[in-house]
A and B are shown apart, each in its own frame.
Chain A
């Protein structure tokens, strides 16, 4: 199994945030994790990355149990998270931000090649590489955050709400890039509130509700599921019209 979570439980003091979650990601897949506020989406990602302490359950990645490992050990294995809300280093230049993404890499030629790849994906980053990250626009910052994640040469990328706070056109661009990255061989676990877009690009999806997985299926199935449509896609109105960005919950 490429990546698997089994019966994951996370408590924040008395709050039972994740209540026995199990999910899998196969090599080369895009898997979407959707759900409302407080459903436990980010907690799931954070417990995978080792930022949040796990109460019980196990996480396996490339046939290795990584439960409870230190964050930097997990990143070293090619499991890279792009945190929610962009979080770039505002005073560092674009290039320095990208270099930070390759913090655990020692092969300079490889870092150069990765940077070239990021610049190919985001030509805008190349234009602005000497500019402090904080002076970029919101969309550019998101691109920088994703680019920085790519610099770690991830095998499985955890994307936390890449569409947050972006205009519909930018959301489409970001999702195009996600598909692009995936087609270059990186598996992706995508957390999104924009269920419409996420399910449209995902091979499979999981629906989280108050710390539990309530539904699972292929992206298309979930998109057409009446319950999902009712809960997250604004009823059965024109849900098939993609990319309008109107379907947040």
Chain B
């Protein structure tokens, strides 16, 4: 027991360290402001109110105490008594409260004595110091901090104890699952074909209406997310299914985008092709680049493959960025006035006026996403998909089973390249401008992150991953400077909680029964 108390002290120190760091980068205030905005639904919060600042402090203590008390319940160990739990939580709250209060007392005292804290701690402006001190005198402030951390920790410990000793959430979860399994309505929806079709139609109507519901900002984000989902689906074929670690996926994306741009823009080539033709040519050229890359790397595996493809991507980027080729590719200035698809006439006759450009383009992207989804799905569950998976699992045996590995490897790269090229062409057309800055290494990293976060080889995973990699940072805009910090923490947490991705690929378990099938076959073959 004594041992766990020492751990509690350590957890208290940990809480204090988190609080101190949050305060020093002024993130406590930012989080508080976000919370305040959410709860009071104010348009903008200039400076956070003490109440919400305090809630954030208490929440940190709450979570640490909660997870600590929960961790005390281990199989094979005696269950801790409620009094003991509260005692440990109190230790956490006390230790962290004392430390964070001490820091603020120090800063406030120095500030009062005319030391310019800001010289040393960039985020600690006088205003911020005042907020952190709740605008009170030092003794009151210390009291507030202690009260906050102790209250937070006690509450956390209490809730953890309630959950663990009653086993409620686990039971509730099981009960819910049972209810779902037994519930006739849900089973009805799952089993009944007509109902299932109706549900699918409802979802389709919702998706169809989505561009009209969303704000212009939302439309632009959804478009970007879908383009990245397409990229993810393409890369998924190469990395997730065929198991080749291609690191320079942006190269194909860039080739598709540049081909499309050069064919449709008035400058520098002045070709001004129409959308469908330019789009098909872009697909063909990116497929061709897939062949050119795919053939020499056929025999490379793992890290070597990653480096070679990375190099290829850099070559492409340097080429389009170079002044030498500026007459041909637009050079560092990029290409503007890229062509857009023309709306077919029936839309105007149907709704009376032309559809807004951004809404129309979102539909184009949606249709394209659906087509890619269909192609990728059919590929994955085909003979080709199976041979890719076999190659990923074990190339030697795949070969021993008669899979022509070189052929299927290059095939994966080509199909992936075509999909990426199409995504690039759409991107160019949507933005009407592209430049070398759009095709940096980060695009490759992001598209890889899309499939890692979503789950390697998983098709719904690519969509979820794209939403998280491209959509969530936009949802976090309220956090301003701390956006990427929070995003990074989210990604780390996600990979710890679900190391195989959010929606990892599941093996289908619907199998033929060999005996039964053989019986049926025998009957069929007899006459």
Contact = CB atoms under 8 A, between A and B. Distances in A.
Contacts of A104: 401-402
Interface in A52-110: 70-72, 75-76, 80-83, 87-93, 95-96, 99-101, 103-104, 109
A148 B393 contact: no
24 contacts: A70-B404, A71-B399, A72-B399, A75-B402, A80-B400, A87-B396, A87-B400, A88-B397, A89-B390, A89-B393, A91-B393, A92-B390, A92-B393, A92-B507, A103-B386, A103-B403, A109-B525, A113-B518, A116-B515, A116-B518, A119-B514, A126-B514, A145-B397, A148-B397
A187 B51 CA distance: 82
A148 B401 contact: yes
A51 to B, nearest CB: 6
B398 interface: yes
A152 B401 contact: yes
B507 A101 contact: no
Contact of B511 (A82, A95, A109, A116): A95
Given A116-B515, A116-B518, 20 more contacts: A49-B400, A71-B400, A72-B399, A82-B400, A83-B396, A87-B397, A88-B394, A89-B393, A91-B393, A91-B507, A92-B389, A96-B386, A96-B507, A103-B383, A103-B386, A103-B387, A103-B402, A112-B521, A148-B401, A152-B402
B505 to A, nearest CB: 9
A109 B525 CA distance: 9
A9 to B, nearest CB: 22
A75 B518 CA distance: 26
B407 to A, nearest CB: 9
B514 A115 contact: yes
A72 B403 contact: yes
A145 B396 CA distance: 12
Contact of B401 (A70, A93, A95, A103): A103
Instruction: Report whether over half of chain B's contact residues are helix, strand or loop; otherwise say mixed.
Output: helix
A126 B521 CA distance: 19
Given A87-B396, A93-B507, A100 B386 contact: yes
A36 interface: no
Interface string A126-162: 1001101000000000000100110010000000000
- Shortest 5 CB-CB distances between A and B: which pairs? A75-B402, A89-B393, A104-B402, A87-B397, A72-B404
B353 interface: no
B406 to A, nearest CB: 9
Nearest to A109: B521
A129 B512 CA distance: 11
B43 interface: no
B480 interface: no
Contact of A75 (B383, B386, B400): B400
Nearest to B404: A72
A126 B515 CA distance: 10
Identify which of B390, B398, B400, B509 gathers the most chain A CB atoms within 10 Å of its CB.
B400
B137 to A, nearest CB: 63
A129 B525 CA distance: 26
A132 B507 contact: yes
A104 B400 CA distance: 11
Taking each of B396, B397, B398, B514, which has the highest tally of chain A beta carbons within 10 Å of its own beta carbon?
B397
B27 to A, nearest CB: 41
Contacts of A112: 512, 514, 517-518, 521
A154 to B, nearest CB: 11
